[in-house]
Amino acid sequence: MQSAASNPFRILIASLMLCLSLAACGERQRETDTAAQEGILLVGNGSEPKSIDPHLVTGVPENKIIQALIEGLIAYHPDDDTKPAPGVAESWEHNDDYTVWTFKLRDNAKWTNGDPVVAGDFVYSWQRILTPALGAEYAETLYVIENALAFHQGQIKDFSQVGVKALDDHTLEVRLKGPTPHFLLMLKHYSFYPVNRKVVEEFGGMADRQSGWSTVENYVGNGPFKIKEWNTNDFLEVERNPDYWDADKVALNGIRFFPIENLNTEFTAFQGGRLHVTNNTIPADRIPRLREENSEALRIDPYLGTYFYRLNVTRKPFDDPRVREALSLAIDRNLIVERVSQGGQTPATGFVPDGIPGYATADAVSYDPKRAKQLLAEAGYADGKGFPKAEILINTSENHRKIAEAIQAMWREKLGIDVGIFNQEWKVYLDSQSSLNYDISRSGWIADYVHPMTFLEIFTAGNGNNDTGWENAEYDGLIRQAQTARSEEARTNLMQQAEAILIKELPVVPIYWYTSPRLIDPRVKGWKPKLIDNRPYKYLSIASN
């Protein structure tokens, strides 16, 4: 039998295959090079967006795209998430107690259909998100506005009674139900973004959740970019908007967002020259080696968010606070961040993460397997006997699975219970969570603005982002008082009391406080560390070599 080395035909075939392989690698490498020369940024976005309608989304993947397409009154600052920057509003003022705000809109802001952006667009848009029939999950964010809650709950029907008024086309007045010095930071969030009244009404109207206005063919925005192409589960591309009021500052010609859920696939895409920037998660087992190699592409930035598990308190045995506390006490968070996530995360000792100026983090979440076992026995499940079948729901991700497997092992070893792990793709996972079709759900919450309220108000009864079935009247009362507190000191005290109730009741189990590990092509300029990882794309650029 002859070996391949002595067979000229086989040598020829092998050589051809090698050439084709190298050519393919070269082609992949040229994707980032070609895109850089064209001024197009290639970005990993984690998941296929559920929608790009700012009033119907709740996730980070959607947020990153919407930021490119729509601009609110206030924009994101290029390097400091605690500061506002002018958006559609070129200036603003407030009264002495921060309850009345007046915004002056610039006269050169335009929609991509040529319409001017006017104050009435914000009145219409805020009425839309507060319209009960729309079912917007972020509607409660606007409860800070006078009578917004009453309108959303159907107690008043006349929207003119809500505290937002267009004094003229370029002047918007907003009346709040209590002093809110941080209102400008709230306005950066997409729940406050405007939509174009003409196109929304043309394709179904204010309360139509299935409206066709937010498709690629019909989309009208007012941001630095406009939508160019959307191939589902492949990529969504935006291109520079020449009619944007600050178009001269926009350096990129476009951005292509790739919904790559598999972290290893995304890592390979970056290494193979198909991405300039990965999503803000990379495979945990890759991080130690990247650190050792001092990779110039590795970035681990602060990220104001909490990784946690939701518990469906409408299902047994999770309706029992003793069971919920037992599950929490049996989790060794130090082991998870040191050996599983490995991205510099901090074990959570409370729900509100560290890093918010003026707010002391709680120190109430701990690891105590002995106490956990005792509590589970008190609940009727000594040594795990009789504990019903249950599953941890995760959205598809290797990192989420590894963390779930670690917690699964801890609960088995310390409590004697077996739980399964079930993954769903992003859109289905979100639907399962919001409909309470789960036992335990992997969750994460990233700050909408730099303030504790963004973490705490979501667990009030009826909040569209609660997704646990948990209600507590005392908790709700404290949050409502905090929203109208006359001073920041009083507001902080009320929020800390509310957080103490949340941690005692544990409808959610905090696990760690996030960081943002990602890979960034050194040619990308202007990508600065941001607490909530929201950056105005108009300040980004990419070198062509």
pLDDT tens digit sequence for 160-200 = 999 999 999 999 999 999 999 999 999 999 999 999 999 99
For residue 85, list its beta bridge partners.
75
In the Cβ-directed half-sphere of 542, how many Cα atoms lie within 13 Å?
24
- Cβ burial, residue 369 (10 Å; 0-12/13-18/19+): middle
Q: How far apart are CA 68 and CA 238, in angstroms?
A: 8
> Which amino acid makes up residue 28?
R
Q: How far apart are CA 535 and CA 296, in angstroms?
A: 21
Over residues 514-540, mean pLDDT:
95
Domains of the chain: 71-198 (3.90.76.10), 305-515 (3.10.105.10)
CA separation, residue 490 to residues 4, 447, 449 (Å): 80, 21, 20
pLDDT tens digit sequence for 93-138 = 999 999 999 999 999 999 999 999 999 999 999 999 999 999 999 9
Q: pTM of the full predicted structure?
A: 0.90
pLDDT tens digit sequence for 324-364 = 999 999 999 999 999 999 999 999 999 999 999 999 999 99
pLDDT above 60 for 17 = no
pLDDT above 80 for 16 = no
Q: Which residue blocks in 340-440 are alpha helix, DSSP H?
A: 369-378, 398-415, 426-434
Q: Please state whether 462 falls in left (phi above 0), alpha (psi between -120 and 50) or beta.
A: left
pLDDT above 70 for 422 = yes
Residue 14: pLDDT band by 50, 70, 90 thresholds? Answer: very low
pLDDT tens digit sequence for 212-240 = 999 999 999 999 999 999 999 999 999 99
pLDDT, position 222: 98
pLDDT tens digit sequence for 475-510 = 999 999 999 898 999 999 999 999 999 999 999 999
pLDDT tens digit sequence for 509-525 = 999 999 999 999 999 99
- Considering Cα of 358, then 359, then 360, then 361, what sign does the dihedral take? negative
Over residues 420-432, mean pLDDT:
96
Q: Please state whether 368 falls in left (phi above 0), alpha (psi between -120 and 50) or beta.
A: beta
> Which amino acid makes up residue 421?
I
Residue 544: pLDDT band by 50, 70, 90 thresholds? Answer: confident
pLDDT, position 323: 98
Residue 289: pLDDT band by 50, 70, 90 thresholds? Answer: very high
Average pLDDT, the chain: 93
For residue 44, list its beta bridge partners.
258
